[in-house]
């Protein structure tokens, strides 16, 4: 089997093997902290190079495949690279090295315990993320989805105190209950209906769904959408704020990027590849998703507005922003699906910047509440400038990446005449401004409460990391051609150059 593999497939497999090998390496070198961190950084760097090296092939239309095993006849653990997965993998692997630099600064700066365990599970979580991104069928997606849940549990509960245990219980409870209770039957049901769980452009069920009773399609759709609890559709969003007990690098990478994005990625994947956009357009029982997404966007923002704890405010902002992706997919217009795909990347860069900034503030000043941040901008200029850029991306104004994705979602909504969606996006933009702008404003324009000499900027690795992600947020606005091309290929708006 290995002999028959072309070099693209080989590199795709390498992208899964690297983090796993990294986890072993980190564990073995756990006794020597510097060496251990070296292993993390080298692995993360190699993974980034591997994933980026796949990009030209995907743009040119290659879809490498690899079958690992077939545990149940007809149902394989298999990988296949396609544009959306490429985009997701690129975002995750781009942010891992940056996050590792940040983690080193944060974990050492706060003298956290059990750092080896932390980095090991972090690498395993990245392995699972790559697996989700490259899954060739629902079964494989489900497998890696569960590995991601389980491998992040020790990260969420890292502190090991009662708060961590309670947060971990909600985290695991909701994610496992939805995935086993709803997603698993949905996958098995799909297998029973279609005889396969393969991701097929145009939709696995495209030819089958019209013959089924609408109730069945609607119910199956419901099982999928709520089964993917990581997408945090209300009322399944409770795990996200609960998981904020984790150390900030975990919140940053996993709960702004890997875990939640694995959720919305799966949502888009199921809508585009399992049902097919055109199939769902004809199913009245699938329209509710639009309303739920709209509801989650608005309510998430309203709750965020009332949070004083910075990380909780960011968490509810994430709940709200994730539903942009779901909304984009639920509009069922090719343009808005492009917007949804782009928002996966745009929100990742913006939100990780915001989390980094929150962690920087905690490390340097030990402040966790929004109301404590008056005048902090002049003491931590790098951090708060980055925070401002991240906020702009959340609100969706130039020159930040959030603008691009919102633009496409709006364009798709207008094209199909979904005025409700347009209204929601506009209203939510105002709400986003309402809860981010005051933080930036008071950080720079208000006088500080206490002695300005007691702290300065955060440790250097942290500053480097958050500056990098803020820069990426702006760069993605300026150079969005590659992600756009990937997203276009996803919905078939542009044919691959070679194909």
- Considering the rule CB under 8 A, would residue 135 count as an interface residue with other proteins? no
Taking the C-alpha atoms of residue 59 and residue 484, their distance in angstroms, rounded to an integer, is: 11
Residue 176 touching other proteins (CB under 8 A):
yes
Q: Which of residues 480-499 bind other proteins (CB under 8 A)?
A: none
Task: Assign residue 74 a region (left: φ > 0; alpha: ψ between -120 and 50; beta: otherwise).
Answer: left
Region from 140-148, 331-339, 349-357, 400-408 binding other proteins, contact rule CB under 8 A: 140-148
Nearer of residues 21 and 150 to other proteins, judged by Cβ: 150
Task: For Cα atoms 309, 301, 313, give the angle at the middle one, nearest 5 degrees.
Answer: 15
Three-state DSSP at 177 gives helix
Kindly state the smallest distance separating residue 489's Cβ from other proteins, in Å: 29
- According to DSSP, the residues that pair with 78 across neighbouring strands are 67
Which region among 5-13, 174-182, 302-310, 458-466 touches other proteins (by CB under 8 A)? Answer: 174-182
Which position among 5, 49, 147, 437 is part of the footprint of other proteins (CB under 8 A)? 147
Taking the CA of residue 221 as centre, how many other CA atoms within 13 Å lie in the half-sphere pointing to its CB?
28
d(CA 87, CA 324): 17
Give, in degrees to the nearest 5, the angle at Cα 14 between 10 and 496.
55
Binding mask 73-102 vs other proteins (x if CB under 8 A, - otherwise)? x---x-------------------------
Cross-strand partners of 137: 198
- Kindly indicate which of the ranges 24-32, 139-147, 454-462, 463-471 contains the residues binding other proteins, using the contact rule CB under 8 A: 139-147
| Sole binder of other proteins in the list 5, 49, 52, 143 (CB under 8 A) | 143
Task: Tell me which residues in 180-219 interact with other proteins (CB under 8 A).
Answer: 180-181, 184-185, 188-189, 191-192
For other proteins, the binding residue among 17, 67, 150, 471 (CB under 8 A) is 150
What is the rounded distance in angstroms from the CA atom of residue 150 to the CA atom of residue 201? 30
Phi and psi angles of residue 401, each rounded to the nearest 5 degrees, phi first: -65, -30
Q: Which two tokens stand for residue 464?
A: 């480097």
Rank residues 77 and 256 by Cβ distance to other proteins and give the closer one.
77
Closest by Cα among 115, 151, 126, 148 to 20: 126
Tokens encoding 56: 């030209």
Site string for other proteins, 38-77 (x = CB under 8 A): ------------------------------xx-xxx---x
Select the residue interacting with other proteins from 17, 21, 33, 169 (CB under 8 A).
169
Q: How many residues comprise the chain?
A: 499
The contact set with other proteins (CB under 8 A) reads 68-69, 71-73, 77, 139, 142-143, 146-147, 150, 157, 160-162, 164-165, 169, 172-173, 176-177, 180-181, 184-185, 188-189, 191-192
């Amino acid at each position: 089997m290995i002999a028959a593999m072309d070099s693209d497939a080989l590199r795709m497999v390498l992208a899964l093997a690297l983090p796993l090998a990294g986890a072993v390496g980190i564990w073995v070198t756990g006794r020597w902290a510097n060496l251990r961190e070296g292993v993390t950084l080298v692995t993360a760097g190699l993974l980034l190079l591997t994933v980026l090296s796949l990009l030209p092939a995907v743009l040119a239309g290659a879809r490498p495949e690899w079958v690992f095993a077939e545990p149940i006849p007809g149902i394989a653990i298999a990988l296949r690279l396609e544009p959306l997965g490429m985009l997701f993998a690129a975002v995750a692997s781009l942010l891992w090295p940056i996050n590792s630099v940040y983690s080193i600064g944060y974990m050492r700066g706060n003298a956290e315990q059990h750092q080896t365990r932390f980095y090991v599970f972090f690498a395993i979580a990245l392995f699972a993320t790559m697996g989700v991104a490259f899954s060739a069928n629902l079964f494989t997606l489900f497998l890696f989805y569960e590995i991601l849940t389980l491998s992040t549990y020790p990260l969420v509960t890292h502190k090991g105190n009662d708060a961590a245990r309670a947060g971990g219980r909600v985290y695991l409870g909701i994610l496992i209950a939805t995935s086993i209770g709803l997603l698993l039957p949905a996958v098995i049901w799909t297998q029973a209906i279609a005889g396969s769980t393969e991701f097929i452009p145009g939709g696995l069920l495209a030819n089958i769904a019209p013959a089924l009773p609408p109730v069945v399609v609607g119910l199956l759709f419901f099982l999928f959408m709520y089964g993917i609890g990581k997408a945090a559709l209300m009322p399944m969003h409770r795990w996200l704020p609960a998981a904020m007990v984790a150390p900030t690098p975990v919140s940053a990478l996993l709960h702004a990027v890997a875990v939640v994005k694995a959720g919305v990625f799966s949502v888009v994947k199921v809508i585009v590849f399992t049902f097919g956009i055109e199939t769902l357009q004809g199913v009245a029982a699938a329209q509710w998703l639009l309303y739920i997404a709209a509801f989650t966007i608005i309510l998430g923002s309203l709750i965020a507005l009332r949070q004083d704890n910075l990380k909780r405010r960011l968490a509810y902002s994430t709940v709200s922003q994730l539903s942009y992706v779901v909304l984009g997919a639920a509009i069922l217009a090719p343009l808005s699906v492009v917007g949804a795909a782009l928002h996966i990347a745009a929100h990742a860069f913006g939100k990780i910047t915001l989390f980094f900034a929150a962690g920087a503030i905690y490390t340097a000043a030990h402040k966790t509440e929004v109301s404590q941040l008056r005048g902090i901008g002049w003491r931590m200029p790098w951090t708060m400038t980055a925070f401002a850029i991240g906020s702009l991306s959340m609100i969706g104004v130039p020159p930040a990446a959030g603008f691009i994705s919102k633009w496409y979602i709006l364009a798709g909504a207008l094209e199909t005449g979904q005025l409700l969606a347009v209204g929601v996006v506009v209203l939510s933009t105002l709400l986003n401004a309402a809860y981010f702008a005051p933080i930036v404003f008071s950080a720079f324009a208000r006088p500080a409460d206490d002695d300005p000499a007691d702290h300065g900027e955060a440790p250097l690795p942290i500053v480097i990391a958050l500056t990098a992600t803020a820069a990426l947020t702006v760069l993605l606005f300026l150079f969005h051609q590659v992600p756009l091309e990937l997203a276009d290929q996803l919905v078939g708006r542009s044919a691959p150059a070679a194909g």
